[in-house]
């Protein structure tokens, strides 16, 4: 672990050490990737649920947020996500013991954002934040959803014995759509349709279509409450997520085998079944370039079905 700027305030310095230790011990990311460089933060704003800190004076230009309005807008996005998620789940995102608000910091990262470990801040990539405004809303919802996962005991009380990125990243991608109707990367929506050989349990955040299917977001009457039931069941099962998922599927849809078979068919054709006006969350899902991914996938499946019919 190294620091680009040792002029850290005491809380930020201590927070950095905690984050570093937890990253290394968790095994979530390689040591080389964990060598983050957190600058000192001379700017800060507080909202009802968040404390956002940033710099515009780092010697490493990629750390800097030069427009404070960007931070203010982000604070609004986070508060909107907090309100929508806590209203659906009836539970607030995780706030570490001894804190009353979630810390959010902006600096240079190797990815869009981090929200791991549970006691650490939400870390947002300053450089990307300035250059790609279209990902700010969806990334804010995605990272806050990780905090909600922690509130249900993930990594705070139980650690699954195997990787579950298809679950943790996949449901966080669902939160992007639920809160904002958009995603940070097109591939989260596209890849499970263009490559039907991708296994759900290897899909990571590209498992998003499964989670839309799980809450019937592709049909007339979405059942978002099923996501709440799933996380409550995860908590009951001490984060045996497959057992929890299969239980909820059986309760809601009947046979789990039949449900997965229907999902496999829907990946090939007719995924969206003309959802009605009441399901506007899922009728249009935008990518970072504002492409309508629902319309694109409908057309892709139509053309593939037509081509298959021509061959027969």
- Whole-number Å distance between alpha carbons of 74 and 299: 34
Q: Give the pLDDT of residue 291.
A: 95
Q: Give the pLDDT of residue 29.
A: 39
Instruction: Name the DSSP letter for residue 91.
Output: S
Domains of the chain: residue spans and CATH: 1-157 (3.40.30), 162-312 (no CATH)
Q: Give the pLDDT of residue 279.
A: 55
Q: Give the pLDDT of residue 255.
A: 97
- The pairs formed by 95-104 with CB atoms below 8 angstroms and a separation of 24 or more are 95/147, 101/46, 101/47, 101/48, 101/49, 101/50, 101/51, 102/49, 102/50, 102/51, 102/78, 102/144, 102/147, 103/15, 103/50, 103/51, 103/53, 104/50, 104/51, 104/52, 104/53, 104/74, 104/75, 104/78
Q: Give the pLDDT of residue 89.
A: 98
Phi-psi region for residue 294, left (φ > 0), alpha (ψ -120 to 50) or beta?
alpha
Q: Give the pLDDT of residue 274.
A: 63
Q: Is the peptide bond before 117 cis (omega within 30 degrees of 0)?
A: yes
Per-residue pLDDT of the chain (312 residues), as tens digits, is 222 332 333 344 344 444 444 333 333 333 234 335 799 999 999 999 999 999 999 999 999 999 999 999 999 999 999 999 999 999 999 999 999 999 999 999 999 999 999 999 999 999 999 999 999 999 999 999 999 999 999 999 999 988 999 999 999 999 999 999 999 999 999 999 999 999 999 999 999 999 999 999 888 788 999 999 999 999 999 999 999 999 999 999 999 999 999 999 999 998 987 654 455 689 899 999 999 999 999 999 999 888 766 665
Q: Give the pLDDT of residue 309.
A: 66
Q: Give the pLDDT of residue 33.
A: 42
HSE of 168, CA atoms in CB hemisphere, 13 A:
24
Return the SS3 of 116.
coil
Cα 153 → chain centroid? 17
Q: Give the pLDDT of residue 12.
A: 41
Q: Is 271 within 8 Å of 246 (Cβ atoms)?
A: no
Q: Is 197 within 8 Å of 235 (Cβ atoms)?
A: no
Q: Give the pLDDT of residue 218.
A: 87
């Amino acid at each position: 672990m190294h620091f680009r700027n040792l002029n850290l305030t005491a809380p930020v310095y201590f927070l950095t050490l905690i984050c570093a230790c937890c990253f290394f011990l968790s095994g979530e990311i390689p040591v080389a990737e964990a060598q983050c460089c957190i600058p000192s933060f001379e700017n800060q704003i507080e909202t009802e649920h968040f404390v956002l800190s940033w710099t515009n004076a780092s010697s490493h230009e990629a750390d800097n947020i030069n427009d404070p309005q960007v931070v203010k807008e982000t604070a609004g996005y986070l508060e909107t996500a907090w309100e929508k998620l806590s209203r659906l789940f009836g539970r607030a995102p995780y706030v570490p013991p001894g804190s009353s608000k979630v810390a959010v910091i902006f600096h240079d990262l190797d990815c869009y954002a981090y929200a791991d470990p549970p006691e650490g801040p939400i870390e947002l990539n300053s450089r990307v934040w300035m250059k790609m405004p279209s990902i700010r809303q969806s990334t804010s919802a995605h990272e806050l959803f990780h905090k909600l996962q922690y509130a249900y005991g993930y990594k705070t009380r139980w650690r699954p014995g195997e990787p579950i990125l298809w679950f943790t990243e996949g449901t966080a991608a669902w939160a992007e759509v639920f809160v904002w109707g958009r995603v940070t990367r097109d591939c989260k929506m596209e890849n499970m349709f263009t490559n039907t050989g991708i296994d759900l349990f290897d899909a990571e955040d590209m498992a998003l279509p499964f989670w839309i299917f799980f809450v019937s977001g592709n049909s007339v009457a979405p059942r978002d409450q099923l996501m709440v039931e799933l996380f409550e069941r995860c908590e009951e099962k001490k984060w045996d997520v497959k057992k929890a998922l299969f239980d909820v599927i059986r309760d809601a849809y009947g046979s789990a085998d039949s449900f997965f078979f229907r999902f496999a068919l829907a990946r090939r054709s007719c995924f969206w079944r003309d959802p009605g006006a009441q399901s506007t969350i899922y009728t249009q899902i935008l990518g970072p370039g504002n492409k309508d991914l629902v319309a694109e996938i409908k057309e892709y499946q139509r053309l593939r079905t037509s081509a298959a019919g021509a061959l027969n």
